[in-house]
Structure 1
Amino acid sequence: MIRLARVGARKQPYYRIVVIEKDRARNGRSIEVVGTYNPRTNPASITLKHDRVDYWKSKGAQYSDRVAKLVAQHPAPTAAA
């Protein structure tokens, strides 16, 4: 599953977008960190490793609801010729 893991101080949320087994705890040991999400900036900043996200999707990983919305907002750059 590709979902958010919260890091950061109290009342200052910062999230990592991680690949993790579905039944693990929210901040449990993840397989790989594939991006970050900072909702405190204006506008919210999102960084993604699109190649790694695509790799894990091809292996059967599913997005959480929130990550699916974030990925839709931040599409992969296209290679222009």
Structure 2
Amino acid sequence: MVTIRLSRGGAKKHPFYQIVVADIRAKRDGRYIERIGFYNPCAVGGETELRLDRERVEHWIKQGAQPTERVAQLLKQAKREGLISVPSAA
């Protein structure tokens, strides 16, 4: 099974997350199939908080990839902001 989830990076107490497509058996920060965006919860000023590759997200969801709970919230946020149009599977 394939999942869309967050992979943590960044410094201690200053997280930065890659949004990746990975096999469900892979470790959180381990091997992944494709990187489709990022999420920066500590963004300030003109920094980008969320960036997604819309076409690849739609492709993976159509292929049956299941987003995690947090990624599903980020996809809804992106949909509200008009960044992405997610099929009803999310």
Q: How does the TM-score come out when normalised to structure 1?
A: 0.88
Larger strand percent: 2
Matched, 1:59 2:72: no
| Structure 1 residue runs without a partner (length 5+) | none
Partner Cα separation in structure 2 for residue 63 and residue 26 of structure 1: 14
Partner of 2:88: none
Partner Cα separation in structure 1 for residue 77 and residue 69 of structure 2: 13
The runs of at least 4 consecutive aligned structure 1 residues that moved more than 6 Å come to none
Matched, 1:73 2:71: no
Q: Secondary structure of 2:14's match?
A: coil
TM-superposed CA distance for 1:69, in Å, is 0.2
Pick one of 25, 30, 50 that aligns with 1:23.
25
TM-superposed CA distance for 1:2, in Å, is 0.1
Partner of 2:8: 6
Instruction: Report the aligned-residue RMSD.
Output: 1.6
